[in-house]
């Protein structure tokens, strides 16, 4: 019986030991899991970009928050607070001057459990925080988790920007130099909560104060503050800020300067010089009656204020000088050989000189009652309107030739240069017009065009005959013809062809000038037309490869012959201005209501200054690289006129030494319903 009891007891012990081992293994496993979780938690905790801490809020017997103790912090905490080794320490111990606001806020969160997001300055730490705080754990533990980051730099930028906007608004309304200085010194003193602010102009080494703003009961500085003191003078001449935190203890001050600061109760101060062209021109000084640790943001604010004040003062002086000399300018303007106008954006004439009045036969008072559009010839008004609209929107000057109507009904050709006038905000508020009478020049051009037209017509018949005779001679030659004769006849025919092209160019120019260029319009497959002319162009060169990259296009309404003339001219130019050979690309593409044709070469390119003039009649680029290229400057002029006659437009994009892209655009053909 005893043996049975022993067996049962042994089995029971064995079972208990097994359970203990299993429990021990379970505990070890749980410890390992807990360790892994803690490692992961710490990794996550320290990987946060913002600072994070857990605190225990400490209350008095009346549940009033008195302090808090740091229980846990992440790796970013020290960087965001400047506090080292905070664990186990209280905030009062670390920063006794820490504001009560922080204790009250965290105490309320610990008691109520309500989370809070807020921004607030921490003066004792010299920081400004964006904070999200919430209660964790058992409410009885009064623990609060805090996620926060220092936004002092952002706040400094915001405050500086807001101040600079107020400064700009203040300066915008003032035009007197002394008023500007008075307004600026008051604004800067208030912004910095200082006791004194002055602006001085430095002339011949002397600092002249025109505005000296102080709090009540403070003594005013003399008219040359600190200029007799070497240490300040040296800093100003070097263009460096001069900053004093406490005049009583500042080692950089000599005794004379120290006593002057104490006398005028400028115990802490910032002096910022304004240096232009290597010389000090002005300076802004800000001072307090007590020691003050000026921070970088405050010094930057004074710098910005000094610079903007100098600019505003100089502009005010310039404006005053301009007003004083207005009568002199008016006298000069009235003696100009050019007509001069000032017009508002609606076109009403605000000023006119005597020359413009004389040019149109009006008196000055009569012109001031008119709108400039009343003087423009009817056919030129739309072109003038578009150019003036562009000036108003873009603020860029332009030049235009147009016709004006005299009081007696006669017509005057003028070349007008129109420039914008800007207000203080940089917006166009008016325009000046310098108008030169070019009627005689236009009459000479008309006579020249008439001569060119007559001469071209007179030359057309004989040159056609010469061309025919040359072709007959070429046809009569055979193998027995002397080589020199073959060579001479071939050269003669080539020159005759050049002469024919020149005559037709002159004829086209004459027709364009006389408004007689006519078109035979019909629906045209632009890709087919371009394909033919690309093949013809390729036959004229062995050094270039002309590639045609086509996109499916709708029909255009065009004159096939004139359009072919444009394509031939552009291909010929691409070949001429890429003398080393290479690729030439012809591309087509469809764009909404129009199609575009581009001809690209990789030759010598066109200077930027010449690109706006290259479509003018007889204009040629004057560059050493183009001297060997023949031409009289009519081809592109004729091409543009042909395209514009088709209600299209033509342009160029070019980079010198890299190549050019000439393009034209035509409206697509739509069948009338």
pLDDT in tens, 404-425: 999 999 999 999 999 999 988 8
Phi and psi based region of residue 359 (left: phi greater than 0; alpha: psi -120 to 50; beta: remaining):
alpha
Evaluate whether 599 touches 663 at the Cβ level (below 8 Å): yes
pLDDT at 257: 82
Q: Where are the domains of the chain?
A: 1-37, 48-150, 157-323, 327-433, 443-496, 522-667
Evaluate whether 608 touches 479 at the Cβ level (below 8 Å): no
How is domain 522-667 classified at the architecture level of CATH? 2-Layer Sandwich (3.30)
HSE-CB of 281 using CA atoms within 13 angstroms? 13
Phi then psi for 69, rounded to 5 degrees?
Answer: -110, 140
- What is the CATH code of the structural domain delimited by 157-323? 3.30.450.40
pLDDT at 226: 44
pLDDT in tens, 468-516: 777 787 778 887 888 888 788 788 877 777 776 666 666 666 665 656 5
pLDDT at 274: 87
**Among the listed residues 98, 150, 96, the one whose alpha carbon sits nearest the alpha carbon of residue 124:** 98
Q: Quote the distance between the C-alpha of residue 662 and its chain's center.
A: 28
How far is it, in rounded angstroms, from Cα 379 to Cα 188?
58
Q: Which residues of the chain have pLDDT under 70?
A: 1-6, 8-9, 29, 31, 33-48, 205, 219-232, 325-333, 335, 445-461, 500-517, 622-632, 671-673
DSSP three-state, residue 414: strand
Cα–Cα distances (Å) from 359 to 164, 299, 364, 375, 600, in that order, read: 50, 60, 11, 12, 47
Torsion of CA 541, 547, 551, 556, to 10 degrees: -10
**CATH superfamily entry for domain 327-433:** PAS domain (3.30.450.20)
pLDDT at 453: 57
Phi then psi for 132, rounded to 5 degrees?
Answer: -125, 120
How is domain 48-150 classified at the architecture level of CATH? 2-Layer Sandwich (3.30)
- For 286-321, letters b (16+ CB in 10 Å) and e give bbbbeebebeeebeebbbbbbbbbbebbbebeeeee
Per cent of the chain over pLDDT 70 is 85
- 190-195's contacts with Cβ under 8 Å and 24+ in sequence apart are 191/163, 191/301, 192/286, 192/298, 192/301, 192/302, 194/286, 194/287, 194/288, 195/265, 195/287, 195/288, 195/289
Which residues lie closer than 8 Å to 444 by C-beta, 6 or more apart?
none
Evaluate whether 128 touches 119 at the Cβ level (below 8 Å): yes
Same fold, 157-323 and 327-433: yes
Evaluate whether 169 touches 161 at the Cβ level (below 8 Å): no
pLDDT at 43: 58
| Stretch (H or E) spanning 499 | helix 483-513
Helix then strand count (H, E) for the chain reads: 18, 22
**Among the listed residues 370, 436, 425, the one whose alpha carbon sits nearest the alpha carbon of residue 399:** 436
Q: Please work out, in degrees rounded to the nearest 5, the angle formed at the alpha carbon of residue 337 by the alpha carbons of 333 and 343.
A: 50
SS (H, E, C) 224-291: CCCCCCHHHHHHHHCCCCEEECCCCCCCCCCHHHHHHHHHCCCCEEEEEEEEECCEEEEEEEEEECCC
How far is it, in rounded angstroms, from Cα 507 to Cα 457?
7
Cα–Cα distances (Å) from 333 to 164, 336, 345, 354, in that order, read: 39, 5, 22, 8
**Among the listed residues 214, 182, 209, 226, the one whose alpha carbon sits nearest the alpha carbon of residue 282:** 209
pLDDT at 53: 92
pLDDT at 473: 79
How far is it, in rounded angstroms, from Cα 521 to Cα 669?
11
Which residues lie closer than 8 Å to 569 by C-beta, 6 or more apart?
635, 636, 638, 639
pTM of the model: 0.40
pLDDT at 225: 45
Q: How many residues does the chain have?
A: 673
Evaluate whether 229 touches 247 at the Cβ level (below 8 Å): no
> What number of other Cβ atoms are within 10 A of residue 596's Cβ?
18
How far is it, in rounded angstroms, from Cα 355 to Cα 361?
10
pLDDT at 585: 95
246 burial level (CB within 10 Å; 0-12, 13-18, 19+): middle
245 burial level (CB within 10 Å; 0-12, 13-18, 19+): middle
């Amino acid at each position: 019986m005893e043996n049975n009891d022993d067996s049962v007891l042994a089995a029971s012990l064995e079972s208990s030991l097994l359970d203990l081992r299993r429990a021990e293994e379970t505990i070890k496993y749980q410890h390992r899991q807990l360790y892994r979780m803690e490692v992961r938690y710490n990794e996550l905790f320290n990987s946060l970009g913002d600072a994070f801490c857990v605190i225990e809020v400490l209350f008095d017997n009346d549940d009033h928050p008195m302090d808090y103790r740091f229980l846990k912090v992440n790796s970013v905490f020290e960087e965001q607070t400047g506090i080292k080794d905070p664990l186990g320490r209280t905030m009062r111990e670390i920063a006794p001057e820490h504001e009560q606001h922080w204790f009250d806020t965290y105490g309320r969160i610990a008691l109520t459990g309500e989370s809070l997001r807020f921004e607030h300055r921490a003066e004792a730490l010299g920081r400004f925080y964006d904070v999200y705080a919430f209660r964790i754990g058992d409410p009885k533990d009064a623990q609060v988790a805090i996620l926060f980051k220092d936004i002092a730099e952002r706040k400094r930028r915001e405050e500086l920007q807001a101040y600079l906007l107020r400064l700009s608004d203040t300066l915008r309304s003032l035009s007197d130099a002394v008023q500007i200085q008075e307004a600026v010194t008051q604004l800067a003193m208030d912004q910095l909560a200082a006791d004194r602010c002055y602006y001085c102009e430095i002339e011949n080494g002397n600092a002249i104060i025109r505005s000296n703003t102080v709090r009540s009961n403070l003594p005013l500085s003399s008219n040359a503050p600190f200029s007799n003191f070497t240490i300040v003078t040296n800093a100003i001449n070097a263009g460096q800020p001069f900053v004093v935190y406490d005049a009583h203890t500042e080692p950089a001050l000599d005794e004379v300067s120290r006593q002057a600061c104490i006398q005028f109760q400028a115990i802490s101060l910032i002096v910022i010089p304004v240096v232009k062209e290597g010389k000090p021109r002005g300076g802004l000084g800000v001072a307090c009656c007590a020691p003050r640790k000026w921070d970088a943001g405050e010094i930057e604010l004074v710098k910005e204020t000094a610079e903007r004040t100098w600019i505003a003062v100089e502009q005010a002086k310039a404006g005053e000088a301009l007003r004083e000399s207005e009568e002199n300018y008016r006298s000069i303007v009235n003696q100009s050989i050019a007509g001069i106008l000032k017009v508002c954006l609606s076109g009403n004439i605000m000023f006119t000189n005597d020359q413009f009045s004389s040019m149109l036969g009006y008196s000055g008072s009569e012109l001031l009652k008119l709108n400039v559009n009343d003087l423009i010839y009817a056919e030129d008004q739309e072109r003038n309107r578009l150019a003036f609209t562009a000036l108003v929107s873009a603020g860029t000057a332009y030049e235009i030739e147009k016709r004006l109507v005299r009081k007696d009904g006669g017509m005057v050709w003028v070349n007008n240069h129109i420039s914008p006038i800007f207000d203080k905000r940089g917006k166009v508020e008016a325009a000046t017009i310098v108008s030169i009478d070019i009627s005689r020049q236009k009459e000479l051009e008309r006579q020249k065009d008439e001569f060119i037209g007559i001469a071209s017509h007179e030359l057309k018949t004989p040159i056609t005959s010469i061309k025919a005779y040359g072709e007959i001679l070429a046809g009569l030659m055979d193998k027995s013809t002397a080589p020199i004769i073959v060579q001479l006849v071939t050269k003669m025919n080539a020159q005759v062809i050049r002469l024919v092209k020149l005559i037709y160019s002159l004829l086209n120019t004459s027709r364009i000038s006389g408004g007689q260029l006519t078109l035979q319009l019909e629906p045209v497959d632009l890709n087919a037309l371009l394909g033919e002319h690309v093949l013809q162009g390729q036959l004229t060169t062995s050094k270039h490869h002309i590639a045609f990259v086509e996109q499916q296009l709708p029909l255009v309404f065009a004159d096939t012959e004139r359009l072919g003339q444009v394509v031939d001219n552009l291909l010929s130019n691409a070949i001429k201005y890429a003398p080393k050979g290479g690729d030439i690309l012809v591309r087509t593409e469809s764009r909404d209501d129009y199609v575009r044709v581009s001809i690209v070469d990789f030759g010598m390119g066109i200077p930027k200054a010449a690109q706006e003039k290259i479509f003018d009649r007889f204009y040629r680029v004057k560059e050493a690289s183009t001297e060997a290229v023949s031409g009289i400057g009519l081809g592109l002029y004729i091409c543009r006129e042909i395209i514009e006659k088709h209600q299209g437009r033509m342009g160029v994009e070019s980079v010198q030494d890299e190549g050019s892209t000439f393009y034209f655009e035509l409206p697509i053909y739509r069948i009338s319903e």
